[in-house]
Amino acid sequence: MGSLQRFLFGCLELVAPQTCVACDEPLERPSYDHPASDLEGNVSERMPNVFCDACQPLIEPCSRNPGAFEYGGPLADAIKRMKYSFRPDLARPLGRLMIPRALRYAGEVDSVVPVPLHPRKRRQRGFNQSALLARPIAKALAIPLQPSRVQRIRDTLPQSLASETNRATNLRGAFRARANEKQPRVLLIDDVQTTGHTLRATEEALRRAGVAHVHALTLAMTL
Ligand SMILES: [Zn+2]
């Protein structure tokens, strides 16, 4: 980051101090800068500072794909605030948390595609959280973000309300994807994976559209 940028970010910090994404506590060491690489371009696995000192130790990296972190504690609070308390501003710092994991797919994917919401749901919420999470990831990987590559064509029951046996059928035919020969390899982004049915249905739609390589990454995963 250049000195002018550092100065501008300093001013920004005075006007609007960066706060913890989970509890709004002001951060001691906010990180506005790009967390993913240093000045020499070396990729860093360092997690950006978006949680306060009380919340940070409770964040558990997830050892299983596609989750970047285990769902629960302050991370779950941050996700719920983003989605249900209209806090789209939390999506950028939360998306930046996913960058170190996303960089593992550098060179293996050509586009970043968020799991879509049905237009009605998107209007209700005011934004698609996965599309906002995907923005800093696409920027870090320096590949296009394609928010309308997959569309949700059928409004479905929320997966949490569908019974265990109906969850897979609930999503049948819910997604439609577009082929794109220039970007044949996709990194699919979602906020939370619980049963995996949504990601699988989205992946299937991409494969039906001829996309052979799909990697998936979610901010959190319930274990
Ligand atoms: Zn906190």
Q: Where are the alpha helices (DSSP H) in 17-154?
A: 73-84, 91-97, 99-102, 119-125, 129-141
- 59 in Cβ contact with 131 (< 8 Å): no
Q: In the block, which residue shows the tokens 């951060």?
A: 27
| pLDDT computed for residue 35 by the predictor | 47
| pLDDT computed for residue 41 by the predictor | 47
Total count of domains within the chain: 1
Whether residue 33 has pLDDT greater than 60:
no
User: Ligand 1 is a single-atom ion; what residues have CB below 5 A from it?
Assistant: 20, 22-23, 25, 52, 55
C-alpha span between 186 and 127 (Å, rounded): 22
How far does residue 82's CA lie from ligand 1's centre (Å)?
14
On whether residue 103 sits in a domain, the answer given is yes
pLDDT in tens, 101-127: 999 999 999 999 999 999 999 999 999
pLDDT in tens, 78-104: 999 999 999 999 999 999 999 999 999
Q: Which domain holds residue 86?
A: 60-159+170-221
How far does residue 72's CA lie from ligand 1's centre (Å)?
13
* CATH number of the domain within which 76 lies: 3.40.50
On whether residue 43 sits in a domain, the answer given is no
On whether residue 115 sits in a domain, the answer given is yes
On whether residue 119 sits in a domain, the answer given is yes
On whether residue 181 sits in a domain, the answer given is yes
